[in-house]
Structure 1
Amino acid sequence: MAEAYYRKTPQQALEAQKAAPAGLSGEEVRRRTGQYGPNKLSEGKQKSVSQIFFEQFKDLLVVILLIAAVISALSENVESTIVIFAVLVLNAILGTAQYVKAEKSLESLKAMSAPSAKVLRGGVRLEIPSADVVPGDIVLLEAGDMVVADGRILENFSLKVNESSLTGESEGVDKTAEAITAEQVALGDQKNMVFSGSLVTYGRATVLVTATGMETELGKIAALMNQTQQRKTPLQESLDKFSAKLATVIMIICAAVFLLSIFRTGMGVLDSLMFAVALAVAAIPEALSSIVTIVLAMGTQKMARQNAIIKDLKAVESLGSVSVICSDKTGTLTQNKMTPQKVYADGSLLEGDDLNLVNDVQRLLLKAALLASDATNNQQTGASIGDPTEVALVQLGEKFGVDEEAYRAQHPRLGELAFDSDRKLMSTLHDIDGVPTLFTKGAIDVLLQRSNYLLTREGPVEMTPERREAISRINMELSMEGLRVLSFGYKELPGFRPPALSDEDGFTFIGLISMIDPPRPEAIQAVSDAREGGIRTIMITGDHKVTASAIAKQLGIFREGDEAVSGVELDNMTDADLDQRLAGISVYARVSPEHKIRIVNAWQRRGSIVSMTGDGVNDAPALKKADIGVAMGITGTEVSKDAASMILADDNFATIVKAVVNGRSVYANIKNAIQFLLSGNAAGIFCVLYASLLALPVPFQPVHLLFINLLTDSLPAIAIGMEPARKGLLRQKPRDPKEPILNKSLLSRIGAQGLLIAVVTMIAFYLGYQESAALASTMAFATLTLARLFHGFNCRGDESVFRLKLSTNLYSILAFCAGVVLLLAVLFIPGLKSLFLVAASFRPANLGEIVLLAFLPTLVIQLVKVLCDLRRGK
């Protein structure tokens, strides 16, 4: 459709707006013109709550529990059946609630008001929501407006557009209304087009809309993003592998126990099935999924309070293993605004703050800078309107108490030669003490060649080749520092008349003003903190390589021996070449969205967990491809927020480092919670296997194990998830994502601790078995429950409880007390006693034996931890 508009003349284009008459709604316009869908990017198919709910039952361990419930029902064990189904439904509800809650957090960010658009329809000027703009509309643009659709410029009045959200470059782009040929379009010439997501920084224009929604250039990048596949987090992969292995082991052991029970002990089929069900329930950590979800959710809430909003719960733990942060420069590491730096005038190079208005040359330089620009700044609100370069000139005047509006009122503009990218100059005519004076600013190479004189404190002197060379050398020095340089000159005209292009010659050169998009101060510290934590920061930007390298040096990203590579150089590299040089490249400049994905891919091939930070539409595909995509909440585009895993509500790069610390803490807490759950489950498995091998009665009923796993285990596990972050987390190196969460060290601790708890549990079983099988089961159940409650204190961390201190996590004490109350309720409240098959002969006197036996494993484990603390010198 857009190609058809290229062939229209401006008059034909203005006639085309009759297809969208005034007074019609956007929906009606779309219906009449054959356009479908509002002017916004596709958000993809949204999952319903029911879909999310039923997805919670896909896990293989859940399927095994469902089978166990069916077997319990066939065995007429109604209590166990009800409890198993209750557990599964409760877990599914919890998982669904957390998913929906995360989505609502994202929607609250999207609630920022969408821009409106000024259009001509039926010859009437209207202001309509951007979603109602359709191809064929005539849109009126002026400084400060957001471009809401792609379009061809029909009338141009010195239009300059910031396209950093698409290209990554903060420098404005000059536009023209001149027609271009198909050959020019093929070569990428788009000077007569504006694109959705851009910001008008200067001038005004009348634009014919040629594309909206997914048909825009922004939409094409969104389509590229939708083709990109997201990777699972390390924890997802680790838990998936663990679940698959555990399910296989459980099925094999249950089958063996079932057959053993029939052929060795002579049990009936249903009794043997119940034995196998008991083992399955003991082995499956049915609360694990819920506990991990809850710990992650609590981590997201803590991060949200620190301005890091997590969209995907499982992405929290990935932050802890991030080893590379690929960050966009503009607006992320830098402030996305030009600020004045060094000034050259009267033979001196000085900082902008050191400008001396007593010096005639420096005073005239500031006057030229303010008069030959159009930017304004509201001192009350602090809002600036205009091209970022000209805003920097206004800021320079404000440092010395010079108000640009007062200056311009004192010397009104009598004529203007608008900036042109071919001339690289802009000139304005003013009355200076009765003398018609033309002030000009522009590229130094152009203005310097058109200058015949150089202004000094003694007056104008001839511009000799030596003086030109000296000024050019200063310009080179500033450029090597990554500064953008503007030159200024003036010329007195013979009379008051409109200036002509031929007047732009024979200037008196005044001086230079340099500026830069400065780095965020907090980003410098954040980069340093990240390096201390073993995290490499890479700058990826659309800016020039020299500018990007200079900023990277200030931030501490680019260090001695590092490389800076441009997009063109990257195109000339094979994947093998890139892999070989990857570790030495700190800056990528002039890159496209495809380049960003390639860079992320290269780091991922090295086994790194990669975070990509950005705010523009051009960042979105790489944000989705990265392990952790981080978008800016304030300046970020909607597309980048949709693609990201985390959104920074304060647009502060330093927040990422805080999120990494929280991510490491969350992962450590999840690992400790898993240790707690599995060591307790291992104890139950050992007990059931022991009873099976020795032909003893079943030590636990399924309802006993579900009570332990769901209630008395869940509370301590949640408390472990609330453990505060320990000092020194940032100084640790990122964990190896290939290392499974259940490594040999953790598995050995789980086995040893589970065996210790199983021993005391079976001792309690034998004490009760002296009287009856029912009392033996009750004694084993109560001892296992209380031992696991005590065990919660062991799993808070690697250190002893004396080092961790009980006061640092009061939730662990509350969880223990709640678990004890629940256990006592089951043991002594009549209705619950029958539901949980508590022996009628169980007496309060038995509690003393239970408490003593249950505490022994914790006593042994804490003594070992104390010895380890002493060995580590703590």
Structure 2
Amino acid sequence: MLKIATEFYAESAVEAVSLLETDSEKGLTAEEVKRRLEEYGRNLITPAKNKPAWLRFISQFSQPLVYILVITSLITLFLNERLESAVIFGVVLINAFVGYVQEAKALQALEALAKSLKIQVQVIRNGQKRRVPSEEVVPGDIVLVASGDKIAADMRLIQAKELRVNESTLTGESLPVDKNVAVMPADTGLADRTNMLYASTLVSFGSGRAVVTETGDRSEVGRIARLVSSASDLDTPLTKKISRFSQLLLYVIFFLSLVVFVVGIFRGNSALDMFMAAVALAVSAIPEGMPAAVTITLAIGVSRMAKRKAIIRKLPAVETLGSTSIICSDKTGTLTENQMTVQTILADDREYQVLGNGYQPEGEIRLKEEPVAEAPFATPLYECLKAGLLCNDSQIVKKSSLYEAEGDPTEAALLVAAGKIKPFSQEQILEPRLDALPFESAFNYMATLHQGAENNIVYIKGSVEKILSCSVNQLQTDGSVKELQPEHITQQAEVIAARGLRVIAFAKISTHKNSLERADIAGATFLGLQGMIDPPRVEAIRAIQDCYRAGIEVKMITGDHLLTAKAIAKQMGFSSRDREEIMAVSGKQLAQLNDGEFDKVAKEAVVFARVTPEQKLRLVKALQKQGAIVAMTGDGVNDAPALKQADIGIAMGLAGTETAKEAADMILTDDNFASIHSAVEEGRCVYDNLRKFILWTIPTNLAESLAVIFAVFLGTLLPVLPVQLLWINMTTAVFLGMMIAFEPKEEETMSRPPLAPNLPILTGEMLLRTLYFGGLLAIGMYGLFYYELSQGASIQMARTIAATTLIMGETAYLLNCRSLSRSMFSIGLFTNPFIWAGISLMIGLQLLFIYQPAMQLFFNSSPLGVGSWSRIIILCIGLFAIVEAEKKIRKLFP
């Protein structure tokens, strides 16, 4: 076994090669590679296992309410009521099938987004360069990397030439990181280890040679994968509430059925009759359509969210979004455009504003709010823009209708800025490059030598400190030069940087040389500054304010530096609880906190910068411990553990890694925070519609149950037969209840705080309405039943009236339930056409129930006259008016 160090970044390159028992020039031998493959295994991360299809289908039955339906189906089958049994079991199967199909669709969508992780790696073995599959790389392999390569394992750099690596998938840092071979302190954080390369990151520029230190599950990516597996799978608020509600309902139904059975026996009825009465009570009390209604309502929410750029992997995640109280969002690409943009240019004490975001060739340059059409030749503005244009190795390319950067995002921003003003927007600068000094972190600048008309020109860009140190004067607007004012320029740069902008300085040198060396970078003329930023998405700014109005906190988690992140947060309108100043903390500060202090900071802080995967996971757990329903966004491997732990994990579909997508409950196809807000809005609508369905179904089932209970307690005939009760339950659930799922969101959906996770599915207000409406409908139904009998009607006709009263009463009540608190007339009569289609079908079916001979024979029904219909309709209008009046009273006296 090799002596594997855990801190290779703190070792020299020579020592790292020695510890790994390899040769930096010749690499490993074929025999040694074979031995190490056997010892360490292939360079693969152990994948998470998906449930097999049959197990996903079986899991759809794991709901207490479904258990009740299955038991009821078996009992009715035992009593030879085969049709009733088949219908009930059919409902269960349909519910399971819908849930299974949705999960299958989500998995297919995920597979469609997936990209192959298998890559070829250039290694040196036996002194020869060769390309091998990434899974065959072993510790000690010498690997050559170049621009565009994906890093296949964790490595310690041996050589680096102008090497820059995009580590955003691992650390969250949005800009490429300059790499070198220098030894780092032992306490250096992952994001600052500039002598290491990590699996899953991407070389954006330059080349290098490195020795592999860890592979597979032992790499940083593998360690994060283990964190993912340690994160908990959580029940959603809806799952918990429906589970508790179903259990309570099960106990109530069992108790009432037992009471009916015992009371009936004491009244001298036969055990078989009372058993049938108890079954009739169970059939009437169980909301058979509820599991299917829940599934279909969620499925409709999934469909609506897909149209708003969100793919839901698991159905309950739809409702969880509606309960979300805190959103922890990544910054780069989600809150921001992920396209560096120059926003300000400072030249000869004149500060120009640059309008337009991203790489699109749109926008203009202004001075004191006045557009500047052209940069006059040889002025500081002209020269500053020209320097950014020529001292540049990147380009902007158009792909379809989008513009993308090829190369460094910072350089791309400089190209776009120059293209917003004449002459650069219309003419190509014909000054051929003769030589260049590439950017290296040790020097902090880049320089290019260009052929001029008289003298050659060196253009330089870099850090403010470095450019000032090599400058001796500065260009003025009239074309002359004046004495350099380094302190004044430094202050100006600090003001720009305080706004969260990255500041680049520019200078030029006139020379007769045709080649360039580091020693030539002296005696320069300072040209100006350009300040750039990855700008906030305009729609994300609006969405954040909408979230605040909806009572949802938003926290920013980023790999960027603390000051940059805090400045972006201010621009986007982030706010802290009870604080005027935004509270921002770094990963280094978090590492020094105990559990109590960490929990307090997790609650109060808004910006978290440079945090590790473990800290992200700890943050989510801390917020959940305080009762929050947490939504977490992410795109990198480093985000996966927190995504899985969160109540709703949200991965990015465009920039997201496969690890992040696998851990998430929802995937954004446009990587936009505004889509999260839209999904939350749809989630609230789904939850509201589920509550409306429950508010509709429980009182109607109560009325049906009371019909059985009254009959047994009073020793009278059953007003409705069990087969008629089943007809009522099944038809109304499908043609009435299901239509609530299509209700559009109400105006106040995003202007109220999220519902508390411990709030019962039936609130006190809903319970009161359940009791009084269920009682009134049962009394009204009984009254009409006995009135018809007193008028000489047959028991068959009286029962038909009772059944029709229940159905028409449920139809009228459905209109009440279109809104939990507002009048049906205030939300609009025809905002949900499905309601009216369902009512029309329901009335049509009931007319068949009453007047079609075959239906009369099967359901023991009888034709009704105009008088009977009039009394039923008057009763239902009265019930509708009572509920509308109750809503009005609650609004007047909240």
Tell whether the structures are fold-level matches, with TM greater than 0.5.
yes
Q: Gapped runs of 5+ residues in structure 2?
A: 6-15, 355-364, 367-371
The residue matched to 2:606 in structure 1 has which SS?
strand
Q: For residues 493 and 125 of structure 1, do their structure 2 counterparts lie closer, same or farther at Cα, with a shift above 3 Å needed?
A: same
* Structure 2 counterparts to residues 127-142 of structure 1, below 5 A: 141-142=145-146
What is the letter of the counterpart of residue 506 of structure 2?
Answer: F
C-alpha deviation, 1:182, in angstroms: 11
**In 2, distance between residues paired with 1:120 and 1:573?**
43
Matching of residue 621 in structure 1 with residue 623 in structure 2:
no
Counterpart in 1 of 2:535? 518
* Contact 1:343–1:349 (Cα < 8 Å) also in 2: yes
* Counterparts of 1:141 and 1:765, CA distance in 2: 86
- Deviation, 1:587, is 1.9
Find the partner of 1:249 among 252, 260, 264.
Answer: 252
The answer on 1:657 being equivalent to 2:677 is yes
Q: Does 1:198 align with 2:201?
A: yes
- Cα separation, 1, equivalents of 2:867 and 2:122: 83
Q: Which moved more, 1:693-702 or 1:114-123?
A: 114-123
Aligned partner of 1:685 in structure 2 is 705
Q: Quick one: structure 1 residues 556 and 704, their matched pair in 2 at CA, closer, same or farther if it must change by over 3 Å? A: same
Pairing 1:384–2:405 present: yes
Structure 1 counterpart of 2:109, from 105, 110, 114: 105
Report the Cα offset of residue 189 of structure 1: 7.1
Q: Compute the displacement of 1:719 (Å).
A: 0.8
1:310 to 292, 306, 312: 312
| Separation (CA, whole Å) in 2 of partners of 1:141 and 1:340 | 31
Shift of 1:297: 0.7
Q: For the structure 1 residues 266 and 106, does the alpha-carbon distance in structure 2 shift closer, same or farther, using more than 3 Å as the test?
A: farther
Preserved CA contact (<8 Å) 2:455 2:510: yes
Change (3 A) 1:214 1:292: same
Alpha-carbon RMSD across the aligned residues, in angstroms, is 3.7
Deviation at 1:335, TM superposition (A): 1.3
Contact 2:434 2:515 in 1 (8 A): no
- 1:844 is matched with 863
State how 1:824-835 maps to structure 2 within 5 Å.
824-829=847-852, 831-834=854-857
Shift of 1:175: 1.8
Structure 1 residues 831 and 90: alpha-carbon distance in aligned structure 2, compared to 1, 3 A threshold: farther
Look up the equivalent residue of 2:806 and give its one-letter code: L
Contact kept? 2:171, 2:190, Cα under 8 Å: no
Q: Does 1:793 align with 2:815?
A: yes
After TM superposition, the structure 1 = structure 2 runs for residues 314-393 of structure 1, keeping only pairs within 5 Å, are 314-352=316-354, 353-354=365-366, 356-378=375-397, 382-393=403-414
Partner of 1:783: 805
Amino acid in the other structure paired with 2:677: V
Question: % of aligned pairs identical?
Answer: 37
Paired position in structure 2 for 1:168? 172
Q: Using the alignment, how far apart are the partners of 1:405 and 1:218 within structure 2?
A: 47
How far is 1:772 from its partner?
6.1
* Aligned positions of 1:581-592 closer than 5 A: 584-592=604-612
Q: After alignment, is 227-236 or 113-122 more displaced?
A: 113-122
The corresponding residue for 1:567 is: 587
Cα distance in 1 for residues equivalent to 2:387 and 2:603: 47
Residue 659 of structure 1: CA displacement?
2.0
SS at match of 1:56: helix
Equivalent in the alignment of 2:487: 469
Q: Go from structure 1 to structure 2 and tell me whether the alpha carbon gap of 1:379 and 1:53 turns closer, same or farther (over 3 Å shift).
A: closer
Count of residues paired in the alignment: 854
Question: Which SS does the other structure have where 1:631 is aligned?
Answer: strand
Amino acid at match of 2:163: L
Shift of 1:281: 1.6
C-alpha deviation, 1:529, in angstroms: 1.9
- How far off its partner does 1:867 sit? 7.3
- Counterpart residue identity of residue 260, structure 2: V
How far did 1:523 drift? 1.2
Tell me: CA distance 1:819–1:135, structure 2 relative to 1, closer, same or farther (3 Å).
Answer: farther
Query: What is the CA-CA distance between 1:49 and the residue it aligns to?
Result: 2.8
Query: Contact 1:20–1:137 (CA<8 Å) still a contact in 2?
Result: no
Gap change, CA 1:68 and 1:481, over 3 Å in 2: closer
Partners in 1 of 2:822 and 2:201 — Cα distance? 54
Q: 1:280 aligns with which of 279, 282, 285?
A: 282
Q: Distance in 1 between matches of 2:878 and 2:136?
A: 70
Following superposition, the deviation at residue 654 of structure 1 comes to 1.4
Equivalent position SS for 1:331: coil
* Contact 2:692 2:740 (C-alpha < 8 Å) held by counterparts: yes
Cα deviation, residue 516, structure 1: 1.1
Indicate conservation of the 8 Å contact 1:292/1:670, yes or no. yes
Give the alignment's TM-score, normalised by structure 1.
0.88
Q: 1:134 to 1:852 in 2, by over 3 A?
A: farther
**Aligned CA distance change for structure 1 residues 57 and 777 (closer, same or farther; 3 Å):** farther
Q: After superposing the two structures, state which structure 1 stretch, 726-735 or 72-81, moved more.
A: 72-81
Deviations 1:31-50 (A, max 9, x none): 986786785x5552222232
Structure 1 window deviating more from structure 2 (422-431 vs 158-167): it is: 422-431
Displacement of 1:556: 0.8
1:496-511 map, 5 Å: 496-497=514-515, 499=517, 501-511=518-528
Find the aligned partners of 2:765 and 2:892 in 1 and give their Cα distance. 21
Q: Secondary structure at the match of 1:487?
A: strand
Residue from 53, 62, 84 that aligns with 2:57 = 53
SS in 2 for 1:621: helix
Distance 2:395 2:768 in 1: 68
Closer/same/farther in 2, CA of residues 13 and 19 from structure 1, 3 Å limit: farther
1:818 matches 2:841 = yes
Conserved? CA contact 1:56–1:95, under 8 Å: yes
Report the equivalent of 1:552.
569
Whether the 8 Å CA contact 1:370–1:404 is kept in 2: the answer is no
Question: Within 1, Cα distance between the matches of 2:777 and 2:178?
Answer: 75
Q: Which residue of 1 aligns with 2:10?
A: none
- Corresponding position of 2:498: 480
* Change beyond 3 A, Cα 1:207–1:402: farther
Secondary structure at the residue paired with 1:742?
A: coil
Secondary structure class of the residue paired with 2:328: strand
Q: Determine if contact 2:155/2:212 at 8 Å carries over to the other structure.
A: yes
Question: The residue matched to 2:334 in structure 1 has which SS?
Answer: helix
- CA distance in structure 2 between the partners assigned to 1:864 and 1:782 by the alignment: 20
SS at match of 2:544: helix
Distance 1:90 1:336, change over 3 A: closer
Structure 1: unaligned runs, 5 residues or longer: 22-28
Q: Is the 8 A contact 1:134 1:209 kept in 2?
A: yes
Aligned in 2, Cα 1:328/1:253: closer, same or farther, shift over 3 Å? same
| Cα 1:532–1:115 shift into 2, 3 Å | farther
1:732 match: 752
CA distance in 2, matches of 1:372, 1:685: 82
Question: Judging changes above 3 Å, is the alpha-carbon distance between structure 1 residues 700 and 441 closer, same or farther for their aligned structure 2 residues?
Answer: same
- Quote the residue 1:78 is aligned against: 82
**Which piece of structure 1 moves more, 287-296 or 433-442?**
433-442
Q: Does 1:229 align with 2:239?
A: no
1:583-630 CA-to-partner distances (Å, cap 9, x unmatched) read 653222222223323333343344332222232222222222222222
Shift of 1:680: 1.0
Preserved contact between residue 22 and residue 28 of structure 2 (Cα < 8 Å): no
* Structure-2 residue corresponding to 1:610: 630
Q: Tell whether the 8 Å contact from 1:790 to 1:816 is kept in structure 2 after alignment.
A: no
> What amino acid does structure 2 have at the position aligned with 1:66?
V
Q: Secondary structure at the match of 1:378?
A: strand
Match in the other structure for 2:825: 802
2:174, 2:762 → 1: CA distance?
47
Aligned-partner Cα distance in 2 for 1:225–1:2: 28
Of 617-626 and 822-831, deviating more is 822-831
Match of 2:147 in 1: 143
Q: State which drifts further: 5-14 or 517-526.
A: 5-14
Aligned to 2:359: none
